[in-house]
Amino acid sequence: MVNLEWYRTFKAVYEEGNLTKASEILFSSQPGVSLHIGSLESYIGFKLFERTSRKMIPTERGQILYDYIVDSLNRLEKAEQHFKKKGLEEKPTLSIGMCSEVFQVFFEPNIGTLQFDIIAHFGEYPQMIKELTEGILDLVIIPELVNSEGVTYKPFFKEKIQLIAGKNTDTENIENLIADKKWAELEPILKKQIWYGSHNVMEYSKAFWHQNFDKKKLFKPNFLVPNIISIIRCISNGQGLALVPDFLCTKQLEKNSVKLLWEGRVPLENTFYFAFRENSRLTKEITQIEKIISQEIEKIY
């Protein structure tokens, strides 16, 4: 059966004659509206609109389809308003894309205080931004900019990538080479150490290595673990080296369960952004998330 949302999108575009206005009415993004129309046209096998730079002009087939569905959709919308539970109106749901570490550090201490429901999504950032434009996600917390129409990026803090070691790791030679700025001798010594890594640290690990040693290829870590917090737990009170963001290991550094070796010849920093649709209907909830995370960052730094 065809997706009912495609029909709702078609009705809005038909009545407004414009993708932008239709997206505002649907609380969706313009790319998401275009995707629905394209999917519906592909499903039924006919072109429904003639597209110009400013208007969407219904074809004859589009006019016939509209006449068939408009009364049924109007009745469904009235039924939805009539039978909608009050509780659902008072407690909206915010779907957020992020990495698991952000959820653990910023959300776990506060999630019980929220006055709305949260659905947390984890995955690759480009895919999460795509889902944001399609209306599947309402907010993405992301350490990079992904070009996408209709998405607003709001910077809120910077992470700094640091080289850390377990407190029982013999790092005297490494620290002396760093102090003496003997970079050519430092690289092979570092490669001989026990290294921890995870899937989501590989990109900035490559950037750190290239920035400090002018080498694009990064050596394979000895142990690949689920995430960065797992890395820090593994080397705490033990041995091994890892590249991790500073905001994830401040407590361990304070407790001396890990030690900071190096921030690089030139610090490697990534800016985190709140990414959301320009016409989001959940601005109040997004603002509350921004406030909570800002408070947690103040505690860390």
Q: Which domains are assigned to the chain?
A: 4-84 (1.10.10.10), 88-157+270-300 (3.40.190.10), 158-269 (3.40.190.10)
Q: What is the pLDDT of residue 169?
A: 94
Q: What is the pLDDT of residue 88?
A: 47
Q: What is the pLDDT of residue 43?
A: 87
Non-local (6+) Cβ contacts of 277 within 8 A are: 28, 29, 132, 133, 135, 138, 150, 151, 152
Using CA atoms, how far apart are residues 39 and 13, in angstroms rounded to an integer? 14
pLDDT digits (tens, 9 = 90+) for 61-108: 999 999 989 988 888 877 766 565 444 456 788 999 999 999 999 999
Decide if 117 contacts 91 (C-beta within 8 A): yes
Side-chain half-sphere exposure of 164, counting CA atoms within 13 A: 33
Q: What is the pLDDT of residue 199?
A: 84
Question: Which residues of the chain register pLDDT less than 50?
Answer: 85-88
Using CA atoms, how far apart are residues 277 and 139, in angstroms rounded to an integer? 8
Q: What is the pLDDT of residue 4?
A: 85
Using CA atoms, how far apart are residues 268 and 73, in angstroms rounded to an integer? 53
Nearest to 226 by CA among 104, 64, 83: 104
Q: What is the pLDDT of residue 86?
A: 45
pLDDT digits (tens, 9 = 90+) for 220-247: 889 999 899 999 999 997 899 999 999 9
DSSP label at residue 281: S
Specify the long-range contacts of residues 175-184, CB closer than 8 Å, at least 24 apart: 175/261, 178/261, 178/262, 181/265, 183/212, 183/213, 183/265
110: number of Cβ within 10 Å:
14
